Amino acid sequence: MEFPTLRRRTALAAAAALALSLTACSGGAVPAGLDPTPQTPVTVQAGFIPVIDVAALYLGEKQGFFANRGIELNINTAQGGAAAVPPVITGEYQFAFSNIVSVLAARSQGLPLKVIASGSSSTGVAGKDVTMIRVPENSPIRSAADLAGKKVGVNTLKSLLQMLGQVSVEAAHADPASVDFVEMPFPDAVTALGNGNIDAMVTAEPFDTIAAGANTRVIASPYLDMSNSSLTTSVYFTSEQQLQQNPKLFPALKAAIDESLVYAGSHPEETRAQLSSFMKIDPAVAQRVILPTFAPLIPPSSVDVFVKAARQFDLIGDDVSYNDLMWSGSVA
């Protein structure tokens, strides 16, 4: 569920040009920022992708965690994390959601983005994670090592899920370059897996649950091939300019996001109930999907693991340090 590669790079290039022009034009006094209080609420523009991971914030909004801090969310739907970068840079959005690799890619290109809060994390449970590699039930493929020379479906080439597939193949002591990754939308990949047009697919919920109901089985849990513990996989981000202009907004916003994550993590059925309000999902699938872990903390080790893999598989050009990526107010 990510922005196609060419358009993602185009979006990031456009955002880089915007950032440079805004920097050149900036100067003088910083305009008065948003100052939320319950008595004087402010409207905050957010860019969300309609994926399971953002359910925590929809639930938090319903619970009043944002209103209690004087924040009224206006949620704009983005087609991918990179698509939300230009509106954040220009100030159209105060913050947005993305997988962590897209934000690392933008930061490595010099875009002045900062992560303000965790979005979601992997479960850390083998065979029961938010992204897995599946093959047909009757396939001779038994592990990621057997994917050499095989066709593997991913939603977008040169993206997070292809990287995760490559990580699992390498962890199984095979050559990732020997795998033929094929780009196709998730629904098409489930069908192609069933009719033999591809040998495996890298999934993401809710399509892992859908694939699980189509006579498939798991051969790898990529996030556990990256680390033996849960990893922060998605984040909420803003721009350095937004942080400078709204010094009172972001501590309140982060507190509301963190409270939402904690509540969602301890109320999974309420979290599931939010899914149909912002995404197309079969109610039966919504009851069975594997929810991500919702936790406020973003460990430095989690960022380091993604930087290493993204560098290795050419999704980012330069190293990005934890402190470069994170807003100082979000560091535990």
Q: What is the set of domains in the chain, with CATH numbers?
A: 5-122+231-330 (3.40.190.10), 133-226 (3.40.190.10)
pLDDT of residue 13: 52
Do residues 236 and 167 lie in contact, with contact meaning Cβ atoms separated by under 8 Å?
A: no
* Interhelix angle 300-312/160-171, nearest 10 degrees: 90
How many residues are present in the chain? Answer: 332
Which pLDDT tens digits describe the chain residue by residue (332 residues)?
Answer: 343 444 445 555 555 555 544 444 444 334 468 999 999 999 999 999 999 999 999 999 999 999 999 999 999 998 877 899 999 999 999 999 999 999 999 999 999 999 999 999 999 999 999 999 999 999 999 999 999 999 999 999 999 999 999 999 999 999 999 999 999 999 999 999 999 999 999 999 999 999 999 999 999 999 999 999 999 999 999 999 999 999 999 999 999 999 999 999 999 999 999 999 999 999 999 999 999 999 999 999 999 999 999 999 999 999 999 999 999 987 65
pLDDT at 194: 95
Sheet holding 95-99, edge to edge: 71-77, 42-48, 95-99, 232-239, 113-121
Contact 293, 124 (CB under 8 A): yes
The model carries a pTM of 0.91
In order of 61, 195, 294, the CA distances from 259 in angstroms are: 10, 45, 10
